Amino acid sequence: MIKLAKGTASWIATPLFLSIIFMSMSIYTNIPLRNILLFLSIFSWLALFFFLIFFRDPDRKTGEDIVAPADGKIREITILTDRDIGRCIRISTFMNIHNVHVNRMPLDGVIKNIVHLKGSHVPAFRKDSDRNERVVITIDTGIGMLKICQIAGTLARRITPYIKKDDSIRKGTRIGIIKLGSRVDLYLPLSSRIKINIKEGDKVKAGEDTIAKIHG
């Protein structure tokens, strides 16, 4: 049985309801209209199947050290200076259409702030997607401050956090979902204690795959 992400029941119920309505109506109509209703019913069933796959939320065995916050492919690993974290490593994960879109906590910590920023909706793989709509989560952990940016894409129009400020969250816990999208950036403090465990192009699973080791 498919486990669905929190807050996605209406996305499943709508195409299910429409498919039943169109199928029922087709029984009592003439052939030309019946064909149209059957087509709409099939389209609704396909939409239902798509949402069931897209909004699945399987249980995961939590990995060691710092785990991936999102399913997908590592697109970029860069060193930069962030106003909240200081000198840090940014790990960008692009979530494709077939990935699980529920994001998870990379390390035990306390949520210090959650900010929702408005912006554009260009494809998440483009450089200018840094100006897209996003939710920025700042986390106080045993290795210092971390930051997670959930970034919307072309189709994504809603980022839903499952957490709130001052929550104490365990590693691997579900922290939110980007509905129909798209990219998650993790900012780690630049430290000799942290050794990155992945490279660009690697595929990872949220909460399960270790992306960095902690030494000392």
pLDDT tens per residue across all 216 residues of the chain: 778 888 888 888 998 999 999 988 888 887 788 888 989 999 999 999 888 888 899 999 999 999 999 999 999 999 999 998 999 999 999 998 889 999 999 999 999 999 998 866 555 555 555 667 889 999 999 999 999 999 987 665 678 899 999 999 999 999 999 887 689 999 999 998 999 999 999 999 999 999 999 987
Locate the domains of the chain by residue range. 9-54, 66-214
pLDDT of 110? 98
Assigned token pair, 139: 């986390």
Tell me if residue 10 is catalytic.
Answer: no
Catalytic residue among 26, 44, 129, 182: 182
61-87 tens-digit pLDDT: 999 999 999 999 999 999 999 998 999
| Range 69-86 burial, b when 16+ CB lie within 10 A, else e | bbbbbbeeeeeeebeebe
Superfamily of chain region 66-214: Glucose Permease (Domain IIA) (2.70.70.10)
85-124 tens-digit pLDDT: 999 999 999 998 889 999 999 999 999 999 998 866 555 5
What span, in angstroms and rounded, lies between the C-alpha atoms of 166 and 111?
5
Strands 86-94 and 183-189: antiparallel
Q: Where are the alpha helices (DSSP H) in 55-173?
A: none
